Each structure stands twice: as structure tokens, then as C-alpha cells.
Amino acid sequence: MERPVEPDLNDLMGRLGYRFLDETHLRLALLHRSYQAEFDEPGSNERLEFLGDAVLGWVIADVAYHRLPDDPEGRLSDLRQAVVNTHALADRAREIGLGGFVMLGHGEATGGGRDKDSILADAFEAVIGAIYIDGGDAAARDFVHRHLAESVEEMIPVLDTVDAKTALQELCAQQGHHAPHYETLGEGPDHDRVFTANVVIGGRTLGTGRGRTKKAAEQVAAREAIARLTH
């Protein structure tokens, strides 16, 4: 079978915001095992993916440690997992358009492989590994910060919401109350929307919260309800 056209590495480097000293590292990061098998390449991106996974975990752990200086280990782990899970990394890869550059075998390519979460996430990690090999830890750290720092900030209030709502759910069960439910409304234009959430337990509103997102408003409401039930 005829080989597909090689990916435009110069275009991709512009999207990544990093210019490789040795472009063979980037090419290898894009080379899926299905392409390796079909076109008899000497290697695939799996080793770089392994390295990139470790580098990514280290950088995000460092960010979480300094961003949340008073939080316990479990919460730091939750934040890291929320940022580096397969779905989250695949979304970052889609933002870059990485799927259009991944080198796939014919079957994988025609089967929708360019938009598979697992392939995109693996390629994203392999790119991080390639940057680490090519430019060292500073270059890899800079890439991760530029492409994932926003994800860290977005996930912190989400984790707060999960923690507060879970805690309230467990507290209600312990005290024999009905399970809480939330009534949330948004007001204002899309660019300046404010949400108000009421948490209702057994027909009584025990907490009210406001926030820029539905989850943030429910977080505040859940914390207020916890305060009422424990004092």
C-alpha cells in the first residue's frame, strides 16, 4: 500500500509553540503503532508517550503543590487526575488540531482514529516526551504550562463543587435527611451570566449560593447547607 503524505511538521510546530532542534523527535511522537506495523517503521510513539506521561504528571503535580499550598495529598491527586485524564488530554489535542498530523495505518485512519480520545491523548503525551528529549525539562515544562495551566484553574472550583456536594450528600445520609437537590437559575447575558442555586432538603431550602458558573453557585449553596446542618 502506498504511504500517506508525511505530516507538515512546520505547521504543527507553529501550533505547538515549540520549534524542534531535531524534527525526527516530533515525527516519532506522531507515529502510531498501526502505522509502524503497516509501513515497517522501526518504532512508534509508545516510548515517547511513556516518557511524556511521566513528565506531564511531574509538572502538574508541581503546579498543584504550589497552587494549593494548604490542601492534603488526596486533593492534589484529584486535581492532577482531573487535568491529565485521557478525555482532558484529548480535548487539548483537539484544540491544537493534533489529530490531523498523527500517522495512522489505513484501517485506523478510516475507522475514525484521528478523533479517538485514546490516540489523541497518547499522541499529546508523546509530543511532551519529544519536547523533553529535544529541549530539556524547561521546554517541556513551558509547553505544559501554556497548554494546561488554564485547565488547572478551571478544575479547582469543579473539585470544590464535587467535594462540597459529596460531603452534603453524605451528611444528609448520616443524619437521616432526604437527599439534597438543587434548583439553579442563570441570569444576565451570556458574557456576564450569574447563577443562583438553592439546595433543598426535605422541602426546605437550606442553602443559597451565587456564582459565575452553575457548579460554583451549587458549591456555595452546598457549603451553606452543611454549615446549617452542623451548627
Say whether 70 is catalytic: no
CA nearest to 218, candidates 176, 160, 171, 150: 160
Q: Which residues pair with residue 48 across a beta bridge?
A: none
Sign of CA dihedral 67, 73, 78, 82: positive
To the nearest 10 degrees (0 to 180), the angle between helices 117-175 and 73-84 is 140
Grid coordinates belonging to 223: 457549603
Say whether 53 is catalytic: yes
Task: Tell me how many helices (H) and strands (E) the chain has.
Answer: 9, 3
- Concatenating the DSSP letter of every residue in 118-164 gives HHHHHHHHHHHHHHHHHHHHHHHHHHHHHHHHHHHHHHHHHHHHHHH
Assign 134 to helix, strand or coil: helix
Among 125, 134, 218, 224, the one annotated catalytic? 125
- CA-CA distance, 212 to 16, in Å (whole number)? 31
Among 38, 53, 78, 122, the one annotated catalytic? 53
- CA-CA distance, 168 to 69, in Å (whole number)? 25
- Catalytic positions are 53, 125
